[in-house]
Amino acid sequence: MGIEAGKKVLKRLKEEISLNEYNRYIKNMEFDEKSSRNDIIIYTTNNILSAKWINTRYAKKIAHLYEVETGIKPQVIIDIKKGRKEANVKISSRDKASQSTLLNPSFTFNSFVSGESNILAFNVAKAVAKNPGKQYNPLFIYGGVGLGKTHLMQAIGNYRVNLGDKIIYNTFEQFLNRYTNHIKTNSMDRFREYYRNCDILLIDDIQFISRKEQTQDEFFHTFNELHSLGKQIVITSDRAPKKIAGLVDRLKTRFEWGMLASINPPGLETKIAIIKKKSELNGIKLSNEVVNFLASKLGSNIREIEGTIIKINAMSSLLRQPITLDFVKNAIEDYLQEKQKNITIDSIVDIVANELNVKPSEIKSKKRAKKIVEARRIAIYLARNLTPNSMPQIAMYFGMKDHSAISHAMKKIEDIIENDENLKVLIEELSNKIETIKLQK
Ligand code: ADP
Ligand code: MG
């Protein structure tokens, strides 16, 4: 099927471009069945000039057509036909640095600051990179947003890529999308082949697996297959396996087979070291005074810390002012205020509605259907906890009489949470989502 798709793409391409162009460049192109793989498709042509031309003009289109055909986003390589090699050059749609999967090359062990909050995860990740598939398989890293899970996971990938291993890095969401696409196109054999053909599988943010039964099943098979072949699996999550709601037991136990390593929020000392490292990497000079101030003021999300440093630097060059303590104090003040403002009741309602399959307008309406009442209650609860709005303000937003309606809803949901582990987890997940979306703004 991959082979057919490779050929089919050429036919489709013919339909999409002018005959003139087709005759000139594409007609002589052949699909190289032998060297192509599922996710790397190779075409040959007569000479380097047309190879270059095809690559600039058509590689993207070819990749797209292939993806439509198969659900797989390929790397496209245009090679010169055998016996015609003018030079031994291959033209590829991606350059070498990004050739290997989707790893961020700056996520390495060297650029990772270790401290009391992450030392276990750091050491285990290094051990896994040196000796994959052995002692710690799977490695399951968990912890809050922006604490370095993805960084550590990709550091393993980057280390191994340089030794020639084939790495697959996917967020769980990407795994899920791929799975859905292959189901749709009735091509699960290729899906399985894709994952089976790697040395190391990195699955990021697996918490989104909750309650997706079919996908859990498939992931279970992928996992077993790789594990029994001695291939290393690394998984990250924002929480421990036992706290992932709706995770089937057999996956839970497997995740616990190897090594569970948590990353905690960094303490002051580690934050200071991180701020120093980040400013150094970004070529920004900060005095100790400023570093200490930032460490004490900023939260534990390291992505946010880095963003703040970069923003301060940008402001300083824009305003042509040196980064003094006073300057930073001012800059931070605005920044912190701005951050608070970012969570609005609107955004909470949107997220809750989306997650619970109701409409935002229904949450804001007076409808009494059970599902809607529950969603409304949850939105009220989150609005109260995540925004600075007062009860009367929230009451106004939801079109309720007065603040007592809000306090009633709050009380009700707190009672339910007390006895309902699932709801508790759901609310935790929603809060995380809301916080994450805010941070990405
Ligand atoms: P997570 O996946 O846990 O949400 P990331 O791994 O994406 O977090 O990290 C967020 C940002 O913070 C990245 O830019 C990463 O390089 C940086 N970072 C996190 N932890 C560290 C650390 N200990 N040392 C250096 N940089 C870090
Ligand atoms: Mg991450």
Domain count, the chain: 4
Stretch 141-158: mean pLDDT? 96
Cα-to-centroid distance, 437 and ligand 1 (Å): 17
255: Cβ below 6 Å to ligand 1? no
Per-residue pLDDT tens over the stretch 192-223: 999 999 999 999 999 989 878 889 999 999 99
Contacts of 258 by beta carbon, 8 Å cutoff, 6+ apart: 136, 137, 138, 139, 140, 233
Q: How confident is the model at residue 305 (pLDDT cuts 50, 70, 90)?
A: very high
Question: Which pLDDT does position 41 carry in this prediction?
Answer: 85
User: Would you state the structure tokens that stand for residue 242, as one six-digit string?
Assistant: 């036992």
Distance separating alpha carbons of residues 185 and 161, to the nearest angstrom = 31
Distance separating alpha carbons of residues 16 and 5, to the nearest angstrom = 16
Strands 139-143 and 259-263: parallel
Question: Which ligand lies nearest the alpha carbon of 141?
Answer: 1
Indicate the residue type of 124.
V
CA 425 to centroid of chain Cα atoms: 21
Question: Which pLDDT does position 2 carry in this prediction?
Answer: 63
Same domain for 251 and 160? Answer: yes
Q: How confident is the model at residue 297 (pLDDT cuts 50, 70, 90)?
A: confident
202: Cβ below 6 Å to ligand 1? no
pLDDT higher than threshold 90 for residue 434:
no
Q: Is residue 100 part of a domain?
A: no
Cα-to-centroid distance, 410 and ligand 2 (Å): 32
Question: Which pLDDT does position 440 carry in this prediction?
Answer: 52
User: Would you state the structure tokens that stand for residue 20, as one six-digit string?
Assistant: 């003139």
Same domain for 364 and 259? Answer: no
Greater pLDDT, 173 or 154: 154
Residue where a domain stops, chosen among 229, 263, 297? 263
Cα-to-centroid distance, 226 and ligand 2 (Å): 23
Q: Is residue 114 part of a domain?
A: no
Q: Is residue 233 part of a domain?
A: yes
Cα-to-centroid distance, 104 and ligand 2 (Å): 12
Distance separating alpha carbons of residues 307 and 315, to the nearest angstrom = 12
Question: Which pLDDT does position 341 carry in this prediction?
Answer: 64
With the most atoms of ligand 1 within 8 angstroms of its CB, the residue from 152, 153, 154, 302 to mutate is 302
Same domain for 237 and 297? Answer: no
The residue whose CA has the least distance to atom 1 of ligand 1 is 146
276: Cβ below 6 Å to ligand 1? no
The residue whose CA has the least distance to atom 16 of ligand 1 is 151
Stretch 281-288: mean pLDDT? 93
Specify which residues 426 forms β-bridges with: none
CATH code of 284's domain: 1.10.8.60
Same domain for 234 and 138? Answer: yes
Cα-to-centroid distance, 70 and ligand 2 (Å): 28
Same domain for 219 and 156? Answer: yes
Helix, strand, coil in percent for the chain, rounding step 5: 60, 10, 30
Angle between helices 345-356 and 421-440 (to 10 degrees): 130
CB 70 within 8 A of CB 1: yes
Greater pLDDT, 342 or 396: 396
Q: Is residue 17 part of a domain?
A: yes
Cα-to-centroid distance, 32 and ligand 2 (Å): 37
Greater pLDDT, 67 or 122: 122
Residue where a domain stops, chosen among 331, 361, 385? 331
The ligand 1 atom at the shortest distance from the C-alpha of residue 204 is: 2
Same domain for 248 and 350? Answer: no
CATH code of 371's domain: 1.10.1750.10
Stretch 281-295: mean pLDDT? 94
Residue where a domain stops, chosen among 263, 278, 308? 263
Alpha helices, DSSP H only, in 137-203? 149-161, 172-184, 188-196
CA 384 to centroid of chain Cα atoms: 29
Instruction: Tell me what the pLDDT averaged over the chain comes to.
Output: 87
Considering just the CA atoms, what is the radius of gyration of the chain in Å? 26
Strands annotated E in 51-150: 75-80, 91-92, 139-143
Cα-to-centroid distance, 337 and ligand 2 (Å): 25
Question: Which pLDDT does position 181 carry in this prediction?
Answer: 92
Q: Is residue 326 part of a domain?
A: yes
142: Cβ below 6 Å to ligand 1? no
The residue whose CA has the least distance to atom 20 of ligand 1 is 148
How far lies 431's CA from each of 211, 382, 391, in Å?
Answer: 18, 7, 19
Same domain for 43 and 175? Answer: no
Question: Which ligand lies nearest the alpha carbon of 206?
Answer: 2
Same domain for 223 and 320? Answer: no
Same domain for 292 and 250? Answer: no
Contacts of 168 by beta carbon, 8 Å cutoff, 6+ apart: 101, 194, 195, 198, 200, 201, 202
Q: How confident is the model at residue 95 (pLDDT cuts 50, 70, 90)?
A: very low
146: Cβ below 6 Å to ligand 1? yes
Peptide bond into 105 cis (omega under 30): no
Pick the closest to residue 139 from 213, 219, 222, 223 (CA basis). Answer: 223
Per-residue pLDDT tens over the stretch 348-398: 999 999 989 999 999 999 999 999 999 999 999 999 888 888 888 899 999
The residue whose CA has the least distance to atom 14 of ligand 1 is 303
Which residue range forms the structural domain that includes residue 48? 2-94
pLDDT higher than threshold 70 for residue 85:
no
